[in-house]
Amino acid sequence: MPIVPITTLGERLIASPVPHCVSDGVRVPVDIRWQDGLPPEAPMLFEQAGPRKTLYFEPEKTCAGIVTCGGLSPGLNNVIRSLFLQLYHGYGVRNILGFRGGYVGLDPARGEAPLVLNLDIVENIHKHGGTILNTSRGPVDIPTAVDNLIRLGVDILFTVGGDGTQRGSQELFQEARRRGHPLSVIGIPKTIDNDVPFVSRTFGYATALEQACIVIDRAHTEAHCVKNGISVVKLMGRTAGFIAVGATLASQDVNFCLIPEVPFVLDGPDGFLAALKRRVLARAHAVIVVAEGAGQSLMAEAGAGRDASGNAKLKDIGPFLRDRIEAYFKTEGVPAVMRYIDPSYLVRSCPANPEDAIQCDLFARHAVHAAMSGRTGMVIGFVNDHFVHVPIDLLGTQKKQVNPDGSEWRAVLACTGQPARMVA
């Protein structure tokens, strides 16, 4: 059986204060579907996350650090609080630092001094959006960061962030290992786009859907209360349309859902604009949800360059689509009233809802358990309703996207009534 290995720092000799421990031998399969009663030919098996009977780090001598990077997501403060409380109450760790301003905070020449976390600081942070540690995009000089972590006596570093953050985590882990320094680097994947492989639902995604549905409801009202009203709502989703798809299915008020995984054209009898005109003439209104990464090939100079996190820069599909719709209906002689809404920053900066708050808490606690047992170079995954240990470098080997041939996209087609293909 191909068991996915996890790097450990060494022998565990310290009895854990946490009861109900998980055996090191428990594995969780990624694929639970068996064709004709036969197991997959090459099943991937992950270690189940959870507390272990013995620890690598001695709690009273341990120093842990937390850093939050990249864009905001609902639940960041929840994760910080739960990391702190599990370390403090669960294991008795008293030295817990919060590095401020993203990875910049790991460089003493560029960032502020770390915040020494305590019970008073974290008491109410989960009730607010954003992150008390602040955040930023972009890398840090890895040798400098490791020098600083060693100088501060940091044994464990929790990195909360998306693709770019976890690439940085891998580099920090590798640099510490090259030096023979026992640093546990544990990633907690963060993106409201829900596009992290080996994570069936990232924290913040449920809150994003809830907030997106509120916006779609308002957009539907705007479109419905005028003749030939058309509302365009742009939602996040750079390479994956999970938010757009989820919000479409949850709201049931969307007539067109446009995502990166399903190409479309604007012009021609089978294009999007003609389909939109047919909808408006038949029903006198339309609501369109578009993911930010959809339709990039339709715009000139799409994807020119990369941002500070290493992500390809996107052209703005929202205003482009709005302007093309307005021009098309004017040319066709069909009066229409356009509304364009981009709630991206409102969606990602709000507090986590109860479902996400629980998810944040579980991600954080499992990260602490993994770190205290001496595991490193890994992130917490979530497959088949089980939290698991995933090597950081494995994240880059797969892409998680909406399946255009899957049941979720077929449900979108059924509830919107949009054509299955809007291509030339």
Question: Is 309 within 8 Å of 327 (Cβ atoms)?
Answer: no
* Residues designated catalytic: 193
Residue 303 pLDDT greater than 60, yes or no: no
Tokens 């995604």 correspond to 205
Cα gap 134→66, rounded to integer Å: 11
CA 401 to chain centre: 12
Look at residues 260, 267, 257 and name the one whose alpha carbon lies nearest to residue 219.
257
Residue 210 pLDDT greater than 90, yes or no: yes
**Domain 209-345+404-416, second-level architecture:** 3-Layer(aba) Sandwich (3.40)
The pLDDT score that the predictor gives to residue 38 is 86
Portions of the chain given CATH number 3.40.50.450: 7-34+41-202+352-383
The pLDDT score that the predictor gives to residue 132 is 97
Q: Using one digit for the tens of pLDDT, what is the confidence trace for 311-346?
A: 678 899 999 999 999 999 999 999 999 999 999 888
Whole-model pTM over 0.75: yes
Residue 398 pLDDT greater than 90, yes or no: no
Portions of the chain given CATH number 3.40.50.460: 209-345+404-416
Cα gap 123→159, rounded to integer Å: 21
Question: Domain 7-34+41-202+352-383 carries which CATH code?
Answer: 3.40.50.450
Give 301's pLDDT tier (boundaries 50, 70, 90): low
The pLDDT score that the predictor gives to residue 410 is 97
- Bridge partner residues of 234 (DSSP): 290
| Structural tokens at position 195 | 């596009």
Q: Using one digit for the tens of pLDDT, what is the confidence trace for 233-259?
A: 999 999 999 999 999 999 999 999 999
What amino acid is encoded at 204 in this protein? Answer: G
Give 182's pLDDT tier (boundaries 50, 70, 90): very high
The pLDDT score that the predictor gives to residue 409 is 97
Q: Using one digit for the tens of pLDDT, what is the confidence trace for 195-205?
A: 999 999 999 99
Q: What share of the chain is helix, strand, coil (3-state, %, to 5)?
A: 40, 20, 45
Q: Using one digit for the tens of pLDDT, what is the confidence trace for 51-76?
A: 999 999 999 999 999 999 999 999 99
Cα gap 190→250, rounded to integer Å: 22
Which own/partner pairs from 323-331 qualify as long-range (CB within 8 Å, at least 24 positions apart)? 324/266, 324/273, 325/230, 325/232, 325/273, 325/276, 328/266, 328/273, 328/277, 329/228, 329/230, 329/277, 329/280
Cα gap 394→177, rounded to integer Å: 18
Residue 308 pLDDT greater than 70, yes or no: no
Q: Using one digit for the tens of pLDDT, what is the confidence trace for 16-47?
A: 999 889 999 999 999 988 888 888 887 899 99
Question: Is 88 within 8 Å of 60 (Cβ atoms)?
Answer: no
Give 302's pLDDT tier (boundaries 50, 70, 90): very low
